[in-house]
Structure 1
């Protein structure tokens, strides 16, 4: 490299996203840049009255095969790949009539948007771009001589450099654009490979890749010394990634993580059947409830652990009304997320400047498939998301006493919540509300006792004579390895138990339940959450 500034004299533009295209091309033309283009892009530029040269003039071949073949030609790739300071490359270009291309502008066929729309197989295949990624990779490899733009957000950045450098770009900008270009093609190919793996039902492909687009740089990660950012992946499930923020300051890493946990939990409850509210702190629920109204559900959820609820995240499964909003603004809350919010509710929330309100128009589907990814030293752990829903289970009563209808309803409720509590998880529930939650303990019996203790503390706060665990049901996310955890639940006042079963000591645990006249149900499915 002999010169860090490279003047742009010829640009090849081929974009599916035409936002900002015409003003950008006008600025290039005004700077004396010759514009070469393809298909619909060329038509759009010509319609705007801009001089444009069809790529077929460079290649000597027309577009063919429904546009699949138009830029895959030495006249294009030679123009992008020729090293400007190599006499050999320049002689070859001259010998074969290859003209240099100094700027490549490409936005790829909208494959991610196509599959997100639910398009059929053939339509999805036709939206896999071939020529675009090939040109992008070529231009990015030759960043010393070529600037490559894959995002309309960078148009002004390029023009600003051209204005400052006599129609040239700096090596620093070209390197940054090249890095972004390779990231774009990587994310694009990742979306295609993930989709294809799903199509052919390949659960464990030999190569696994993931890609996303920056949605929000974050101030820091879980702690101030950690860097972080939020990326969107395609297609996106309804949730935090699709939410609209109505008010409040920027969401933090922990806000996003906790809000996602809250919304996934509350989505377990069908809004056509009941209102539901979940209050989350540090990715664990501190209160969950259903009710006739959102206000009723919120007050029941708050009663479970009002101390932990301070500064928490609230998720609701219905559009928020004014009554619920008024109730929720009585304590400090970081984030509220729901499918929607009435005008009156938004007005009430607006008075709380530090509260962030998010709406999504819909709930995530708890049965939807998906992938969960966790990094390890030197690798990734990838698994399918836990899409098991208790309504689909074949519940088996294993005790002498059969549960009552009310106990059965509360057990299903409690097991839904336990699915979203960090293991070891214990959830006491009564009348469609959590009354005690034990999360993340190394011993299941400790989780059982902590949940009962918290229920006692909540009763004191509410000035209730006895803990609400009296007459409750208890859910365990995994089997009781010994009878001690079940006995602790019985001592706390639980009358019925729901758990996966499968322990070597199941008979011992069943006998302990029978001895205390407990009803117990096995689900056959566990919900570990680490």
Structure 2
């Protein structure tokens, strides 16, 4: 006895080959409708119109669809045209709704309900997994179908809200990829989910990234993407930047970044802007580094790094210059409600600087100022970065005021603060901050400005002959 499969899809990838296998080797008759029927017959599948089974357009609304699917189909293959693709074609809500295939939506839902009798397929990746399935496999396919329907329903609702000018709902489409060993601490359960807009990356030595690894990688990649077109290295630990530098070579950049906080390299995450060569790999192997990420690894470098059984080697395939485009929203869930904000994509142009002091910065100082400003954007508020020659010499962060933050930065930098640049993530609030910077012989301060004590702060800078640049851009990070 021959079986029956109903097919109605938007994505034809791999479809004809799979249906040929079903027809020739597993005795399936193929039924379809609309554009899918036309496509299949053009490609020699000899598909029949579903109307041959006594269905007309109004049938779906008048008949108990579950019984019809159970009696007539052993398999249903359905996927829909993406909602975003439909919305791009029209600004009219009626035209949008009419384009949505609600008939096949009903068939898919009914098939998912009768999964004991009917295999339901929504993804091309499941094609060849459905040839020999048991009851548990059918149940998992049914779950995927209901999740697919739910996601599609939510996407439709979101678009209709936009059309109606009432975009008040926030819909998250997350697919669980796997359980993590634990969260921030061993007693916290955690899982990793796939979202709609993910960068392309891979762990080359097949090790599992932990919860903390993923957080560190995210910060490291955001930071290194600021310097995608030069040799740059960034070290991150506990989701905090610990050392960043540019160099004539990648090795030079790494050694300069390492000098900022040598202890942070141990069990730290290191990101590189360019291909890792053997020289860099050899240096990394001598340190207890936990994770390394780069756009590419030269063959001899990768072979050397893989020998380190404790190291996780990540390759980022997404171009670094595009990495921040994947950061669409930042979401924090609290018992008081859920916060949603746009990511910090602030940019700085040295032509827009406002020099507010009598002492004017040199071109070299301004270049270092831009570098320091880009780094402090990713440090934890209140944050201060001290830098010179495209190298951080101190990163002080997590302070409750910028007086203690600057004092801490001076202590970390020691003699390396002489003639260096100091960048803050928020406005300097008192002349005491400038006094602390002067003790470290800072040559230029770059800060947002806008404090009620700006005049006092500028006067203090003039007193010590320190150049000061105001950006008007605050970069708080919590």
Do the aligned residues in 1 keep the contact of 2:18 with 2:127 (CA within 8 Å)?
Answer: no
Do the aligned residues in 1 keep the contact of 2:30 with 2:47 (CA within 8 Å)?
Answer: yes
How far apart are residue 211 of structure 1 and its match?
1.0
Distance 1:267 1:281 in 2: 17
User: What residue in structure 2 maps to residue 337 of structure 1?
Assistant: 293
The reply to whether residue 514 of structure 1 matches residue 462 of structure 2 is: yes
The reply to whether residue 149 of structure 1 matches residue 121 of structure 2 is: yes
More off after superposition, 52-61 vs 185-194: 185-194
User: What residue in structure 2 maps to residue 224 of structure 1?
Assistant: 186
User: What residue in structure 2 maps to residue 297 of structure 1?
Assistant: 253
The reply to whether residue 207 of structure 1 matches residue 169 of structure 2 is: yes
Distance 1:197 1:390 in 2: 35
Pick from 288, 311, 320 the counterpart of residue 363 of structure 1.
Answer: 320
Do the aligned residues in 1 keep the contact of 2:383 with 2:396 (CA within 8 Å)?
Answer: yes
Structure having the higher helix fraction is: 2
SS in structure 2 at match of 1:501: coil
Distance 2:354 2:271 in 1: 31
User: What residue in structure 2 maps to residue 54 of structure 1?
Assistant: 49
How far apart are residue 447 of structure 1 and its match?
2.2
Deviations 1:427-459 (A, max 9, x none): 110110000001122222222233233334xxx
User: What residue in structure 2 maps to residue 312 of structure 1?
Assistant: 268
How far apart are residue 521 of structure 1 and its match?
0.6
Instruction: Report the TM-score when normalising by structure 2.
Output: 0.83
More off after superposition, 428-437 vs 181-190: 181-190
Q: Unpaired runs of 5+ in structure 2?
A: 91-95
User: What residue in structure 2 maps to residue 105 of structure 1?
Assistant: 77
Pick from 396, 418, 428 the counterpart of residue 470 of structure 1.
Answer: 418
User: What residue in structure 1 maps to residue 412 of structure 2?
Assistant: 454
Q: For residues 110 and 470 of structure 1, do their structure 2 counterparts lie closer, same or farther at Cα, with a shift above 3 Å needed?
A: same
Deviations 1:223-248 (A, max 9, x none): 23333333333344xxxx30122115
Distance 1:228 1:19 in 2: 35
Q: For residues 140 and 422 of structure 1, do their structure 2 counterparts lie closer, same or farther at Cα, with a shift above 3 Å needed?
A: farther
How far apart are residue 129 of structure 1 and its match?
5.5
User: What residue in structure 2 maps to residue 391 of structure 1?
Assistant: 349
User: What residue in structure 1 maps to residue 224 of structure 2?
Assistant: 266
Do the aligned residues in 2 keep the contact of 1:79 with 1:99 (CA within 8 Å)?
Answer: no
The reply to whether residue 247 of structure 1 matches residue 218 of structure 2 is: no
SS in structure 2 at match of 1:333: coil
More off after superposition, 424-433 vs 488-497: 488-497
How far apart are residue 269 of structure 1 and its match?
1.3
Deviations 1:467-497 (A, max 9, x none): 3112211100111122333322222232211
Deviations 1:55-108 (A, max 9, x none): 2324655xxxxxxxxxx65349946445xxxxxxxxxx7xxx995556433233
User: What residue in structure 1 maps to residue 376 of structure 2?
Assistant: 418
Q: For residues 228 and 43 of structure 1, do their structure 2 counterparts lie closer, same or farther at Cα, with a shift above 3 Å needed?
A: farther
Distance 1:186 1:436 in 2: 49
Deviations 1:143-197 (A, max 9, x none): 68765432355567765554xxxxxx46x953x5444333323444666777899
How far apart are residue 219 of structure 1 and its match?
2.4
Distance 1:154 1:445 in 2: 59
More off after superposition, 431-440 vs 245-254: 245-254
Q: For residues 98 and 304 of structure 1, do their structure 2 counterparts lie closer, same or farther at Cα, with a shift above 3 Å needed?
A: closer
The reply to whether residue 130 of structure 1 matches residue 101 of structure 2 is: yes
Instruction: Report the TM-score when normalising by structure 1.
Output: 0.76
Distance 1:77 1:264 in 2: 55
Q: For residues 515 and 282 of structure 1, do their structure 2 counterparts lie closer, same or farther at Cα, with a shift above 3 Å needed?
A: same
Do the aligned residues in 2 keep the contact of 1:279 with 1:313 (CA within 8 Å)?
Answer: yes
Distance 2:440 2:244 in 1: 19
- The RMSD of aligned alpha carbons is 3.9
SS in structure 1 at match of 2:352: coil
SS in structure 1 at match of 2:290: strand
Q: For residues 484 and 144 of structure 1, do their structure 2 counterparts lie closer, same or farther at Cα, with a shift above 3 Å needed?
A: farther
Do the aligned residues in 1 keep the contact of 2:228 with 2:320 (CA within 8 Å)?
Answer: no
1:157-236 correspondence to structure 2 within 5 Å: 161-162=133-134, 169=135, 174=139, 176-188=140-152, 205-236=167-198
Q: For residues 367 and 213 of structure 1, do their structure 2 counterparts lie closer, same or farther at Cα, with a shift above 3 Å needed?
A: closer
User: What residue in structure 2 maps to residue 74 of structure 1?
Assistant: 59
SS in structure 2 at match of 1:224: coil
Q: For residues 485 and 353 of structure 1, do their structure 2 counterparts lie closer, same or farther at Cα, with a shift above 3 Å needed?
A: same
Distance 2:146 2:336 in 1: 22
SS in structure 2 at match of 1:298: helix
Q: For residues 75 and 184 of structure 1, do their structure 2 counterparts lie closer, same or farther at Cα, with a shift above 3 Å needed?
A: closer
The reply to whether residue 277 of structure 1 matches residue 225 of structure 2 is: no
How far apart are residue 11 of structure 1 and its match?
4.2
Q: For residues 27 and 388 of structure 1, do their structure 2 counterparts lie closer, same or farther at Cα, with a shift above 3 Å needed?
A: same
